[in-house]
Amino acid sequence: MASCSVARHVRKGAHSCVECRKRKLRCSRSSETAQSCRRCEERFLECIPQILSAPSTSKPSRKTRDRISWLEDKVHNLTEAVQALQQPTAGTISDLSLEYSASDSEAGETDTCSDIAIPTQPSYLNALFNNSILNSTENDATGRSNPTSSQFSHTIRVALQSLVPSKGNVISLAETSSGWLSLLHDIFPIMTDIKSGYDILSRHDEVLRPTANPLTVASWLLIVAITAQHNAGPRHQITLRNKKPLNGPRYSRLVAESVERTIIVRDQLMISVEGIATMTLLVRLHLTHGNFVQAFLLLRRALAIAELLGLPWATPRCLLWQHICTAERFQNMLLGFPSVTQHYGLGQLEPVLVDGKIVPPNFLLRLSSLALDINGPSDLRNHSTSLSEIQSAITKRDRDLKDLINQMPDNWWSDEATLSLSDRLIKHIYHYMTLRLHLPLLLRQDVSERGLQSRAACIDACRALLQGYIDVYPLILEGYFIQRILDLQIFTGAIVLLLADHSCGVHNHDKGATTDMPSVSMKLIANVVQAIEHHSENPRSDIAEQTLGAIQTLTELLGTDDSDALQGDTVLHVPLLGKLHVRRKTESEASIDFDPSIPDFDMAGMDIDQVATSNFNWSIEQAYDLLFYTATQS
């Protein structure tokens, strides 16, 4: 035993025992010959002197070269571990990739994105996002299986499959799905091969397979969730394993939250053509719930991923890119935000009319392209731009819009009863766009000839918007996502019409003219209120509830002449417009009429657009949070 033969010596210069050194105390003995120090004697401890052990010779010291080699091996192992954890990028095909529909591939359509070669994306994107150190391409090329990816896919698949309804529930839902699916593909097409209730039912067993693709399951669930949202009655209760029966709206929200949590947050899944298609479906479901913020952000993310994949440059007629561009421009046209796709050309646009019939997707793409210059909030409150520049810009946009509308057939205007639901919807959207186009001059109270023309066009658009709401809303399926958008539009249109007609009536009265415009508008608004109340037989949206309250408050306020009736500043929160402040004038203010055409009046220094009407001042305050509307969760 060589280790036992090594001599053990007391450390040189070490006077303290082991216990005193550990406690950082002074070690003193009662005498020089004492075996224990005083503190060890007091604590009845064995006083052990510090000893010096010879170094062990069982493990020789390693050279510097060996230590460097050992560190290099560790770095190599860590690199391999990171590569194993890293999911395949969009340029590779993994078990999480989603094949496009077999029907599309068999048909050999060259204008779809199913044949996109991701390696053809721009070189600058490759330079930005390709990392040669942590690149999994070589590992994937070797054909080795990735157990981490397989387990990851299995976890997501199991979580989503737990939300698959029973086959009986799916049969019940499929019976009512064909109507909204056909309307969806006619007006707002999306990249999915599910076009009927039969397609939903036929894929029920497929999504329950142990090898089902998570993106396939997610897309199917989103279609089912949108269908369930349209069926809120007790007849369509959704039964899930180990859960209580859920009605349609609650089930659809559960699916949206689960897909968001398991699929959307995974960048390795979303950076693919199939991931973008799944996101567009979730955008529709968010709009159905009235979650405009989530829909706006998710669609912007889909566009960013599409740019990363090189879809704008993949092929001149990439349907997926056209679909998301149309959805983005349509959404920004409704919300009044500038488009982020305005610098991308979509190639040669398809004709609006085919065999004398309107093609709704082509019309909406043209209409939304014209709306690229209508920025909404920036136009409404852009005081840095002169009034003449705004007038000329609106004149140009109005001329382009009329050129598009002149292509419509004659019965589009004369015979409303013969129009299909899709034609009525796009006509309704046209009136809303006309309203937003002329709204800046209305808010500035421009009394020039061009300003009065914009005022008249804005009032006509508001009236057509309200009348279209009365005629079209009952024809739309309950829970369809366009209902929330119509509620937002009617909220804005009714408030603008009340203010514009009140101001118009005052100006006509000052000129000694008589008009029935306010009375016509009040009758129309009363019909809208009656229509909204009639919808109360079904659960109406919280946006409609606020519309009723705002119309009633503003009508009573503008209709009273009693100066003591209402005092103070009444504030109404109007989505897509802002905070509306209406205040009765004081006696000193009543004799002073606000005239924004006065050259000395400083418009650039104001934060709000103020308008004076008769006995009232009203102003619209900047409130960009009101451009979106967060629906109340039910």
Q: Are residues 579 and 472 in the same domain?
A: yes
pLDDT for residue 13: 61
Among 345-349, 473-477, 487-491, 625-629, where is mean pLDDT lowest? 625-629
Judged against a pLDDT cut of 80, whether residue 26 lies above it is answered with yes
- Domain-located, residue 320: no
Using the Cα atoms of residue 506, residue 507, residue 512 and residue 516 in order, give the sign of their dihedral.
Answer: negative
Residue 602 belongs to domain spanning: 357-627
pLDDT for residue 259: 92
Q: For the residues 182-194, what does the mean pLDDT come to?
A: 72
- Domain-located, residue 362: yes
Strand order in 608-613's β-sheet?
569-574, 578-584, 616-621, 608-613
Tokens describing residue 403: 């050129």
User: Which pairs count as long-range contacts for 561-570, CB under 8 Å and 24+ apart, including other chains?
Assistant: 561/615, 563/587, 563/615
- Domain-located, residue 65: no
Collapsing DSSP to helix, strand or coil, 132 comes out as: coil
Judged against a pLDDT cut of 80, whether residue 600 lies above it is answered with no
State how far the Cα of 280 lies from the Cα of 282, in Å rounded to an integer: 5
Q: Are residues 16 and 126 in the same domain?
A: no
**Nearest Cα to 16, choosing from 31, 36, 33?**
36
What's the domain count of the chain?
3
Among 132-141, 570-579, 590-599, where is mean pLDDT lowest? 132-141
Q: Are residues 426 and 508 in the same domain?
A: yes
- Domain-located, residue 62: no
Judged against a pLDDT cut of 70, whether residue 458 lies above it is answered with yes
**Nearest Cα to 136, choosing from 97, 94, 88?**
88
Choose from 101-105, 120-124, 550-554, 561-565 the range with maximum mean pLDDT: 550-554
Per-residue pLDDT tens digits for 95-143: 333 333 333 433 444 344 443 333 344 544 444 454 443 343 334 434 4
Collapsing DSSP to helix, strand or coil, 36 comes out as: coil
pLDDT for residue 455: 86
pLDDT: which is higher, 111 or 199:
199
Residue 507: Cβ within 10 Å count: 16
Q: For the residues 169-188, what does the mean pLDDT come to?
A: 74
**Nearest Cα to 276, choosing from 346, 229, 361, 218?**
218
DSSP bridge partners of 616: 584, 613
DSSP bridge partners of 572: 580
Q: Are residues 19 and 117 in the same domain?
A: no
Among 134-143, 237-246, 499-508, 533-542, where is mean pLDDT lowest? 134-143
Of 263, 289, 315, the position where a domain reaches its end is 315
pLDDT for residue 595: 46
Q: Are residues 200 and 297 in the same domain?
A: yes
Among 81-90, 204-213, 247-256, 298-307, where is mean pLDDT lowest? 81-90
pLDDT for residue 82: 78
State how far the Cα of 218 lies from the Cα of 269, in Å rounded to an integer: 12
Confidence class for position 61, pLDDT limits 50, 70, 90: low
Q: For the residues 329-352, what does the mean pLDDT come to?
A: 76
Q: Are residues 298 and 372 in the same domain?
A: no
What's the full length of the chain, in residues? 634
- Domain-located, residue 534: yes
Per-residue pLDDT tens digits for 355-369: 878 888 888 888 877
pLDDT for residue 632: 42
Q: Are residues 310 and 368 in the same domain?
A: no
Q: Are residues 278 and 370 in the same domain?
A: no
pLDDT: which is higher, 82 or 144:
82
Confidence class for position 218, pLDDT limits 50, 70, 90: very high
Among 39-43, 297-301, 549-553, where is mean pLDDT lowest? 549-553
Per-residue pLDDT tens digits for 512-532: 333 445 678 888 888 888 888
Q: Which residues lie below 8 Å from residue 573, measured CB to CB, with a gap of 6+?
A: 546, 550, 579, 580, 623, 626
- Domain-located, residue 136: no
Q: Are residues 398 and 523 in the same domain?
A: yes
pLDDT for residue 406: 86
CB 220 within 8 A of CB 194: yes
Judged against a pLDDT cut of 60, whether residue 240 lies above it is answered with yes
Q: How far is CA 295 from CA 291, 335, 367, 418, 534, in A?
A: 6, 12, 21, 34, 29
Q: Are residues 112 and 165 in the same domain?
A: yes
Residue type at 17 in one-letter notation: C
Judged against a pLDDT cut of 50, whether residue 351 lies above it is answered with yes
Q: For the residues 28-55, what does the mean pLDDT come to?
A: 83
**Nearest Cα to 404, choosing from 425, 379, 376, 433?**
433
Say what the alpha-carbon torsion angle 292, 191, 348, 120 is, to the nearest 10 degrees: 110
Q: For the residues 37-66, what does the mean pLDDT come to?
A: 77
Per-residue pLDDT tens digits for 307-324: 888 888 776 557 788 788
Of 261, 286, 315, the position where a domain reaches its end is 315
Within 13 Å and on the Cβ side, how many CA atoms surround 460?
10
DSSP letter at 49 equals B
Which run of H or of E encompasses 114? Answer: none
pLDDT: which is higher, 109 or 372:
372
pLDDT for residue 298: 92
Q: For the residues 297-305, what does the mean pLDDT come to?
A: 91
Judged against a pLDDT cut of 60, whether residue 81 lies above it is answered with yes
- Domain-located, residue 460: yes
Tokens describing residue 448: 């020039």
Which run of H or of E encompasses 549? Answer: helix 542-559
- Domain-located, residue 214: yes
Q: What is the mean pLDDT of the chain?
A: 72
End-to-end CA separation in angstroms for the chain: 80
Confidence class for position 56, pLDDT limits 50, 70, 90: low
Report the percent of the chain where pLDDT is more than 70. Answer: 67
608: left (phi over 0), alpha (psi -120 to 50) or beta: beta
Confidence class for position 256, pLDDT limits 50, 70, 90: very high
Per-residue pLDDT tens digits for 611-621: 444 566 777 77
Q: Give the pTM.
A: 0.68
CB 428 within 8 A of CB 465: yes
Q: Are residues 501 and 365 in the same domain?
A: yes
Q: Are residues 419 and 519 in the same domain?
A: yes
State how far the Cα of 571 lies from the Cα of 516, in Å rounded to an integer: 28
